[in-house]
Chains A and B, each alone.
Chain A
Amino acid sequence: MITRRTLAGLALALAFPHGSPHAWAQTAQPRAGGKLVWAVETEPTTLNPQLNGQDKTKLYLRNVYESLLARTADGGYVPWLATSHQVSGDGTAYTFTLRDDVTFSDGRRLDADAVVLNFTRLKDPAYSGGISVGPVARLAQARALDAHTVEFKLDRLYAPFLDFAASLEILSPGAYGSPQLKSGGPDIAGTGPFILVRYARGQEIRFVRNPAYRWVPATAGHQGPAYLEEVTYRFLPESSVRTGALTSGQVDVIEGVSGNDAGLFKGSTQFSYATALNTGTPYSLFWNTTYGPTQEPAVRRALNAAIDVDAVLKAVYRGQRTRAWGITSPIDPQFYDRSIEGSIAFDPQRANRLLDEAGWAARDAAGFRTKDGKRLSVEVVQAQATVRDQRDVLLQALQAQARQNAGIDLTIAYVDTGTYADRRASGRFGAIANSNTPTDAIDIENHYLPLDRGGALNYSRAAAPELLAWLQEAAGTLDPKARFDLYARLQRFAITDQAYALPLYEPEDQVAASTAVHGIGFRPFKQLPESAHDIWIEPRT
């Protein structure tokens, strides 16, 4: 027993290195069997994990789709679908040796050809769209050296490549012939501990245990197949409804707990509650530098100074969220430069002075600033599908701040996914708010590389030559100190100097569960909720 406890304690220490979220008590013996119902906030735009950019869908997609290597809490790599990997001395060739006993749930074997197919297809814009210009674009050649060895060759050193290659979710080769490929679904087989059996839009997504599963990484809590027989994730988009569903016993677990409801679960004897900050780019409002009034740096700086982010977060989240300042997460162990903290001051006088000087001095009947008869209006375009975590309330609070403190008309347009894609592609928007969770500076590249050079999420459409130069230099070295300095310089330039974005808060996961549920955890390093592999429930009395 002592050994088991020590191991559990070690696992927890690995899982929560940065601050310690509440941990679930691990006293009783794990038990196989049972069905779990988990209420989640976010409906997927696609179930294909390679194409889905919604971080909140990963917690259930990870039940099915796995990658070559797993991460440890300190950022290291451990075997998963690959037993080992080598990087050539010049950092341009990566060799992965695959396990020889892994099968997809459609019966196909995981071999080198399957992995090569996954990487080469991802380069095809017809399949992956904007993702094709991301990290995978650095891949010059992927080939199978033998049945279980894959080699990736790059044209030149690209430091984040291992992070990307190790974490790409591997689909069954059969998926590429399926009409479901882009939308994802039960036809797209993976190797994970669960098999996706049913997706009902607006209702639920259901998985059953994969009895053949034997290849869990060493970071997991136990070896062999998952404990649960079946796990169902029910889509309940409203936080109060999820809270009610858990407290009334209709579901066993919920994620996405509002600031107001956190107190109900914290310190409760009936429920467990855990949170973990996400990695990657904080939730930030990116000002479009190529369209409308935010083309003027003075307007962007004024916006950043006009909004009292601390007060707004306190009001909307009741003190349950962490203010963000920079271009990456405060828990990023590699590249977060803490000196940025406090560099954006709430200073309405400065905001108004900047706008007066920039010629936005007149006011219209509604009290908004104007220049040459045109209102100082910035349209925040938000896809309805990605509204979560009270962000609609947050945006409304920012809107009120901009109006009241500086006479800026911040309008909010909620649009469907198609319209959102159009507006993004055409650049006709004032601002877009976003966060994302990639690590090893891929999050920084996503937001600050030029649009056609891998800046898939470059919502500020920033194209200053310094950005590209710094990012290329940083990706071209394996020296972590040199990379840190370059990203720190970029952070100062982008946030303090150019005001491309207003960082708001660091997204996090909140999970509340009935105390009968055990084994819920967060992924080491990446911090998103782990798959349901280790979860088990006490028999209901």
Chain B
Amino acid sequence: MSVTLALPARARQRRTPFPHAAALFLLVVAIGTAWPQVLTAYDPIAADPLQAQLPPSAVHWFGTDQLGRDVFARVVYGARYSMLIGVSAVGIAAVSGTLLGLAAGLLRGLADETISRVLDVVSSFPDLLLVLVLISFTGPGTSNLIVALGAASIPRFARVVRAQTFVVAGSGFVEQARTFGLHRATLVTRHILPHAAARVPILATIGLGSAIISAAGLSFLGMGPPRPTPEWGSMLAEGRNYLRVAWWISVWPGLVITLTVLSVNALGRRWQAAFDGRQA
């Protein structure tokens, strides 16, 4: 995920489309994640072979899939898996990335060299390839997928935090605090870390979008939670043989993945724009 800094903040703010719609959509996704039964009365894994491949209707809003399961219920319950994988992976990446970046920025010298070169190696692999390699060692499954996705995006966070740490550590107020004899630990936690990591939540929000896409992609390939778990990516995979006759089996989960990622990105960018504006 590249962070564009070229445009003036206000221009970018204007370019973020429908922030309210995005927020509203994410609210619905959040409700689906926390209380799916509020949104649907159907059981996402209950199959009824006599009701297979029914088109969308008042009874089955998104239709039914090849086994006669309610697609809407599966999409709603699927939010939990897709969001859980995305949020956890980004959480792992943000926390480990921040700590590594901070350590590199503060310790400098050999430690910085070591950490930076290791990060270079990690980021020289395309994200998805790296995740595939990690999963081939650990085997498929939700937790392995989370760890692999998280590990692959650590450099993104570590680099930014390291650079910011350099800037902050050399700035006047830190120098001043040091001359006042402030304890090193206090200096780091009170003054350096908050400033160095200021951008991490924004990065994490934008990273969440790509984490959700990657998670869905890997589940599509069978690396995610096992069937019949209603994960969005694996729903897409299950429906691909039916696209010609029953488009609704894979189009709805595909649409929801797209909207979720767009919404998360829209909000992330808006937040970033606001942040940049404040800093300017």
Residues of A within 8 A of B (CB): 238-240, 243, 258, 260-261, 264, 308, 311-312, 314-316, 318, 390, 393, 396-397, 399-401, 403-404, 412
Cβ-defined partner of B66 (8 Å) among A240, A264, A315, A401: A315
Interface residue B244 (Cβ < 8 Å from any Cβ of A)? yes
In the complex, besides A261-B245, A399-B228, 5 extra interface pairs with C-beta distance below 8 angstroms are A240-B244, A260-B242, A314-B50, A314-B52, A403-B45
Residues of A close to B47: CB separation below 8 A? 396-397, 400-401, 404
For the complex, what is the distance from the CA of A400 to the CA of B51, rounded to whole Å? 14
B241 lies within 8 A of A258 (CB): yes
Q: Does B46 contact A (CB under 8 A)?
A: yes
Minimum distance in angstroms from A428 CB to a CB of chain B: 19
Chain B residues, Cβ within 8 Å of A311? 49-50
Q: Is the CB of B228 within 8 A of A240?
A: no
B241 near A240 (CB under 8 angstroms)?
yes
User: Beta-carbon contacts of B37-63 to A below 8 Å, as 1s and 0s?
Assistant: 000000001110110110000000000
The complex places the Cα of A215 from the Cα of B165 at a distance, in Å, of 82
Q: In the complex the two chains form, what is the Cα distance from A264 to B50 in whole Å?
A: 23
B246 and chain A: residue at smallest CB distance: A260
Partner of B227, one of A238, A318, A396, A401: A396
Flag whether B133 is at the interface (Cβ < 8 A).
Answer: no
Residues of B in contact, count (CB < 8 Å): 21
B223 to chain A, nearest CB (A): 13
Contact A260 B244, beta carbon cutoff 8 Å: yes
Contacts A400-B47, A400-B228, A401-B47; is A315 near B67 (CB within 8 Å)?
Answer: yes
User: Are the CB atoms of A396 and B244 closer together than 8 Å?
Assistant: no
Residues of A within 8 A of B243 (CB): 240
> Which positions 53-94 of chain B face chain A at CB distance < 8 Å?
53, 66-69
Q: Give min CB distance, B174 to chain A, whole Å.
A: 54
Complex CA distance for A315 and B69, rounded to whole angstroms: 11
Residues of chain B within 8 A of A260, CB atoms compared: 53, 241-242, 244-246
A393 touches B245 (CB 8 A): no
**Which 4 residue pairs spanning A and B have beta carbons closest together?**
A400-B47, A315-B49, A315-B52, A311-B49
Tell me, in angstroms, the Cα distance from A412 to B246 when the chains sit together. 25
Residues of B within 8 A of A (CB): 45-47, 49-50, 52-53, 66-69, 227-228, 238, 240-246
Report A364 CB to chain B, min CB distance, Å: 16
B230, chain A: closest CB distance, angstroms: 12
Select the residue from A258, A308, A314, A396 with max chain B CB neighbours within 10 A.
A396
Q: Which residue on A lies nearest to B50, using beta carbons?
A: A311
| Residues from chain A with Cβ under 8 Å of B244 in the complex | 240, 243, 260-261, 264
Quote the shortest CB–CB distance from B240 to chain A (angstroms): 6
B67 and A238 within 8 A (CB): no
> Does the CB pair B228–A396 fall under 8 Å?
yes
Closest to B64 in A: A315
Q: How many angstroms from the CA of A318 to the CA of B241 in the assembled complex? A: 14
A238-B240, A258-B241 given as contacts; is B46 within 8 A of A393 (CB)? Answer: no
Across-interface contacts of A400 in B (CB, < 8 A): 45-47, 67, 69, 228
Task: Report chain A residues within 8 Å CB of B228.
Answer: 396, 399-400
Nearest-neighbor residue (CB-CB) of B245 within chain A: A260
Residues of B within 8 A of A312 (CB): 49
Q: Can you sample 8 A-B contacts with CB below 8 Å? A: A261-B244, A308-B49, A311-B50, A315-B66, A396-B47, A396-B227, A396-B228, A401-B49
* Across-interface contacts of B238 in A (CB, < 8 A): 393
CA distance A355 to B224 in the complex (A): 33
A239 to B228, CA, bound (A): 21
Residues in A with CB closer than 8 Å to B245 are 260-261
**Contact yes or no, B241 A239, CB < 8 A:** yes
Q: Are A397 and B67 neighbours in the complex by a CB distance under 8 Å?
A: yes
Smallest CB gap from A313: residue in B: B49
In whole angstroms, what is the CA distance A396 to B45 when docked? 10
Please measure, in the bound complex, the distance between the C-alpha atom of A401 and the C-alpha atom of B46, giving whole angstroms. 9
Q: How far is the CA of A460 from the CA of B240 in the complex (A)?
A: 34
Contacts of A390 in B (CB 8 A): 241
Instruction: With both chains docked as a complex, state the minimum distance between the C-beta of B237 and any C-beta of chain A, in angstroms.
Output: 10
| B67 touching A240, Cβ below 8 Å | no
A residues less than 8 Å from B46 (CB atoms): 400, 404
> Across the interface, which residues of B come within 8 angstroms of A393, CB to CB?
66-67, 238
Closest to A264 in B: B244
Tell me the nearest residue of chain B to A318, going by C-beta. B53
| B67 cross-chain contacts in A, Cβ below 8 A | 315-316, 393, 396-397, 400
Query: Whole-angstrom distance between the alpha carbons of A390 and B53 in the complex?
Result: 15
Decide if B50 touches A315 in the complex (CB within 8 Å): yes
Cβ of A314 and Cβ of B242 under 8 Å apart? no
In this complex, the member of B46, B47, B242 whose beta carbon has the largest number of chain A beta carbons within 10 angstroms is B47
Write the nearest CB–CB distance from A509 to chain B, whole angstroms: 19
CA distance A458 to B74 in the complex (A): 38
B240 / chain A contacts, CB cutoff of 8 Å: 238, 240
- B241 and A397 contacting across the interface, CB-CB below 8 Å: no
The chain B residue with its CB closest to the CB of A310 is B49
How near does chain B come to A504, taking the closest CB pair, in angstroms?
Answer: 13
B93 to chain A, nearest CB (A): 30
Give the docked Cα–Cα distance between A397 and B66 (Å): 9
A404 to B49, CA, bound (A): 12
Bound: A314/B53 CA distance, A: 11
What chain A residues lie within 8 Å of B45 (beta carbons)? 400, 403
The smallest C-beta distance from A413 to any residue of chain B, in angstroms, reads 9
Q: In the complex, which residues of chain B have a beta carbon less than 8 angstroms from the beta carbon of A315?
A: 49-50, 52-53, 66-68
Is there an interface contact between A238 and B241, defined as CB atoms closer than 8 Å? yes
Residue of A nearest to B47 (CB): A400
Q: How far is the CA of A400 from the CA of B240 in the complex (A)?
A: 21
Provide the bound-state CA to CA distance between A31 and B139, in Å: 53
In whole angstroms, what is the CA distance A264 to B244 when docked? 10
Distance in angstroms between the alpha carbons of A260 and B247 in the assembled complex: 12
Q: Closest residue of chain A to B67, judged by CB?
A: A397
